[in-house]
Amino acid sequence: MGSRCSCVQEIIEEEDLHLKNEDNPYSMQKSPINVPSNASSNVPISYNYQNSTEYQSFPSICLGRLGDTKEYPDGSLYRGEYKNGLREGFGIQVWTNGVRYEGFWSNDKRHGKGCKIYANKDIYEGDWEDDYPSGIGIYLFNYGVKYEGPWKNGKKCGYGIETRPDGYRYEGNWENDEKYGYGVSIDVDNSRYEGKFLNGLKHGKGRLVLADGDTYEGEFFKGFMHGNGNYTWSDGKKYIGEMFENKMSGHGSLKWEDGKIYVGEFKDGKEHGVGVLTTVDGRTFRGNWVEGLRHGFGLITLPNGKKINCEYVNGKMISDRLD
């Protein structure tokens, strides 16, 4: 379309329909779509509307007469081609609520290449089948979010790309209008996730690199780091074990950059429950922890094998004796 047939800027009036020769920033002419040929492929191909037979016919259609304007019972106006009394070929229809469609029709339904402006000013431009977006198309939401890729029965389905004004980007598989299966997302803060999605959320196995350099690789559940995984801080500290809603919870091991290691229970991101702390010099403490602090009775084993029974309260030793 573009300077040929502008879906956004052409107007239709009750007595006549005028096609303006102005540029449309979202036109087919200016919006080639790069998508993989199927959902399992990661290699993009180029799909260009100008190569289609239907698109090449737009100039002659736009410059020619489309016939009289017809008003439908719902108040909408149509001007275009007919066959056996049904909309067939190229035509433009405008509804009373501001919805506008310009493109091809078949058997009285939108079918082929076309562009629709919705009542809320969303725009879809691309393939249609049996009155629904189906095939390859671009959808631009009125608040700036854009989707490019395949559609099925009016819903995103296949390998597509979503971009947002705030910098968020998703490239991957879709099903039933939701992110589903394998995909890669880059968030507003530049954190990057690569892995499985379900119903639009990180779900299943994946790898997350946070903006501060921390990384997590493992299981996700409904958008959270949840299940078994490895979390590595940018300073070298590393956790291997169970996660619950983005926090260390359950059984796991935590190793600091200086070499000391804790193996045991965690809760809400802290050592909590029974655990063993081993320092670089070989000293170990086996006992109970509460919210990251030693609390209760425990046993210290020195590098020479000596054992010390001890008791802690809120991280402070209050008693000790050699075993």
Cα 300 from chain centroid (whole Å): 50
pLDDT confidence of residue 323: 67
One-character DSSP codes across 218-287? EEEETTEEEEEEEEE-TTS-EEEEEEETTEEEEEEEEE-TTS-EEEEEEETTEEEEEEEEE-TTS-EEEE
pLDDT confidence of residue 321: 83
Closest alpha carbon to 44 in 142, 161, 134: 161
Instruction: Report whether pLDDT(306) > 70.
Output: yes
Read off φ and ψ for residue 304, nearest 5 degrees. -85, 5
d(CA 136, CA 114): 11
d(CA 59, CA 229): 57
- What is the mean predicted confidence (pLDDT) over 149-156? 98
User: Would you list the domain boundaries of the chain?
Assistant: 60-156
Here the tokens at position 165 are 């004004």
Cα 1 from chain centroid (whole Å): 29
Q: Is 53 left (phi over 0), alpha (psi -120 to 50) or beta?
A: alpha
Cα 298 from chain centroid (whole Å): 48
- Give residue 271's identity as a one-letter amino acid code: E
Whole-model pTM? 0.77
Write the pLDDT tens digit of every residue in 85-141.
999 999 999 999 999 999 999 999 999 999 999 999 999 999 999 999 999 999 999
- What is the mean predicted confidence (pLDDT) over 66-73? 87
d(CA 30, CA 140): 14
Q: Which architecture, in CATH terms, is 60-156? A: Single Sheet (2.20)
Higher pLDDT, 163 or 34: 163
Instruction: Report whether pLDDT(24) > 60.
Output: no
Closest alpha carbon to 315 in 289, 285, 287, 281: 289
Whether the CA torsion 52, 55, 57, 59 is positive or negative: it is negative
SS3 196: strand
Instruction: Report whether pLDDT(20) > 60.
Output: no
Running DSSP on this structure, what letter comes out for residue 23? -
Instruction: Report whether pLDDT(154) > 80.
Output: yes
